[in-house]
Structure 1
Amino acid sequence: MTVLLEVTSLRTEFATRAGLVRAVDGVSLQVRRGECLGVVGESGSGKSVTFTSVMGLVRSPGKVAAGTIFFDGRDLCQLSSEEMRAIRGRDIAMTMQDALTALNPALTVGEQMAEVMVAHDETLPAGRAARRSAIRERSVEMLGLVGIPSPETRLRQYPHEFSGGMRQRIMIAIALTCRPKLLIADEPTTALDVTIQAQVLELITDIRARLGMAVVLITHDLGVVAEHCDRVMVMYAGQVVEEGPTAAVIERPRHPYTRGLLASIPRPALRGQRIEPIMGQVPDLVGLPPQCRFHSRCPMARPECLVAVPMLPAGPGRQARCLRLEDLA
């Protein structure tokens, strides 16, 4: 598969009263056409900021301070605001964490779907009546694709008239309206019960297969990644600490943080045994010294780890940011 999205040495900073926060610090990644990349890590690890940087949605006092972002052969960092607006929603779509707040409560679902098509779909007919008919037809098609019953009726309803799972499906439908090449799903199952979570994730997997698009799935849940993603990228304190094929990373983690995440997952096979938490807290990102950022929480830490650690080869198609790779093997 060819590379669709390639990010190199991305650094996104926020100027605060306490000092400069490097929320994303030297992140490099690739997303290939048609694949699903899972991005995991604790809250504050830089997952969402990495991809809002890709979308050009970082707001002041934040800014992309360094790095390159190539999408389908174009350097997004060199594009104007107008050119980025043309790409967002058409070629790259993103669903936000909370569907209730992401949807406009004052507009019907149909109106919100129409906005995307009017802004990005150049294939719409010129005549007003024909244009409205085409928009309605596509909207009904998209709502049907994500499993919304009676889509013709639902177009006239407002977000508050839908359940949490239905709102999440509507967000996905809006994102898919222009059939993007890449869908970024940021915590698509937040605040949903387990049954609805499974339905939403199966929906994304099914649509990915039907449309042939690439998916980035941002989540806290390694179980979700194991079931739905081809590759996984683990982030901690603004950096990528491990990356590789999902099965290989989960079966044999090569970074202590990844191992800690896996050990903290409740499993039926371990019934009666204590869950092993990752002790300590994520470090303050203001003025971090140039050393392993997981050092203060790592059970394998040694004095030699108090240096800046690059991503190192950790097996076929794998990398990890750790000097103890041989011990973890």
Structure 2
Amino acid sequence: MSQANLTPLLEVQGLRTAFPTRNGTVRAVDGVDLEVRPGECLGVVGESGSGKSVTFASVMGLVRSPGFIEAGSIRFAGRDLTRLSVPEMRQLRGRDIAMTMQDALTALNPALTVGEQIAEVLHAHAPDLPAGRFARRRAVRDRSIEMMRLVGIPSPESRLGNYPHEFSGGMRQRIMIAIALACRPKLLIADEPTTALDVTIQAQVLELIADIRRELGMSVVLITHDLGVVAEHCDRVMVMYAGQVVETGPTVQVITDPRHPYTQGLLRSIPRLSMRGQRIQPIEGQVPELIDLPPQCRFYSRCPQRLDTCRQVVAMRAAGPARQARCIRVGEEMQ
């Protein structure tokens, strides 16, 4: 059966996440629809401030006060997560959905060994641990060693007692992945998993996630700025801009034939060997402030293809089989 025919594991509809400020309400996520199917990898791309991380912090129930989910539904395996209590959501996190944060050094607790941090997740969420105290402790140790070995930590038995600062940046990222995967979740959300890593270590971490995805059969959401990473590792891509989804579809189709001017601009700004001697074409301007936005396409002020008719709210439009784009030109082409 193809992925297109599978019931989504995660389905988000009309999600709006707001943050009250002195100057007004910032809607960091404004009407986002998305789905993640069993076993697939969804890439989420966009500039800083486009709403990528807040979207999935909302899915995880990790939006910090005074931020709140203003509207929308988040369904995971048939359950609406917005209706779960705090204890129910806490049980779901780590066991069924796990998330790795952008900076492993600040995300890991410097006062606890890595073994203790993996053990915390297992004690809280692993349903198959033995009941007896000593048997449980031994099972947690064995599982922690297994997870460290799975993510490629050498000599895991001797490194359980090490603290985060005793690991390199790449190894800390692997520890983060080990913690996230300790209970073998159905969905892994990897938020910028290669931040601050050199190119070689980036490749190793991404290959690690791909290998574990195949081994465990889990779904992955890969949040990144790098369209090259998405092209290599993701089945589908979702492009976000100013709190909204502006294009979505199969990765190969979106990369080779982008339909939204913002996606086209992102691709033009990527340096390539074939561009030797040519200037990179950055997207002019800045992402707009998300307070009191005018009722028009949010990319209007930066779009080189803008028309007078773009001064209106534009909904997502069909851009081909399994593809959508938030651009009025797409509607004209499809007519």
Q: Is the 8 A contact 1:253 1:328 kept in 2?
A: no
1:110-259 equivalences under 5 Å are 110-259=115-264
2:319 equivalent to 1:314: yes
CA distance in 2, matches of 1:118, 1:230: 34
SS at match of 1:203: helix
SS at match of 1:324: helix
Q: Is the 8 A contact 2:51 2:244 kept in 1?
A: yes
Structure 1: gaps of 5 or more residues: none
The answer for the alignment partner of 2:298 in structure 1 is 293
Give the aligned residue type for 1:116.
Answer: V
SS at match of 1:27: strand
Q: Is the 8 A contact 1:3 1:33 kept in 2?
A: yes
2:263 equivalent to 1:262: no
The answer for the alignment partner of 1:88 in structure 2 is 93
State the TM-score, normalized to the length of structure 2. Answer: 0.97
1:92-103 equivalences under 5 Å are 92-103=97-108
Cα pair distance change 1:132/1:286, threshold 3 Å: same
Q: What is the identity percentage for the equivalent residue pairs of Structure 1 and Structure 2?
A: 76
Give the aligned residue type for 1:319.
Answer: Q
Structure 2: gaps of 5 or more residues: 1-5
SS at match of 2:18: strand
1:5 aligned to which of 10, 13, 36: 10
2:82 equivalent to 1:77: yes
The answer for the alignment partner of 2:53 in structure 1 is 48
CA distance in 2, matches of 1:327, 1:195: 44
CA distance in 2, matches of 1:231, 1:63: 28
Q: Is the 8 A contact 1:36 1:215 kept in 2?
A: yes
2:329 equivalent to 1:324: yes
2:30 equivalent to 1:25: yes
| RMSD (CA atoms) | 1.0
Larger displacement relative to structure 2 (249-258 or 286-295): 286-295
Q: Is the 8 A contact 2:318 2:330 kept in 1?
A: no
Structure 1 runs, 4 residues or longer, greater than 6 Å off: 326-329
What's the offset of the Cα at 1:2?
A: 2.5
CA distance in 2, matches of 1:45, 1:80: 28
SS at match of 1:234: strand
Cα pair distance change 1:294/1:105, threshold 3 Å: same
CA distance in 2, matches of 1:100, 1:246: 31
Give the aligned residue type for 1:162.
Answer: F
State the TM-score, normalized to the length of structure 1. Answer: 0.99
What's the offset of the Cα at 1:105?
A: 0.2
Q: Is the 8 A contact 2:317 2:331 kept in 1?
A: no
What's the offset of the Cα at 1:122?
A: 1.7
SS at match of 1:3: coil
1:246-270 CA-to-partner distances (Å, cap 9, x unmatched) read 0000000000000000000000011
Q: Is the 8 A contact 1:278 1:297 kept in 2?
A: yes
What's the offset of the Cα at 1:174?
A: 0.4
2:114 equivalent to 1:109: yes
Cα pair distance change 1:259/1:90, threshold 3 Å: same
Cα pair distance change 1:297/1:120, threshold 3 Å: same
The answer for the alignment partner of 1:67 in structure 2 is 72
The answer for the alignment partner of 2:3 in structure 1 is none
CA distance in 1, matches of 2:78, 2:333: 37
CA distance in 2, matches of 1:109, 1:226: 33
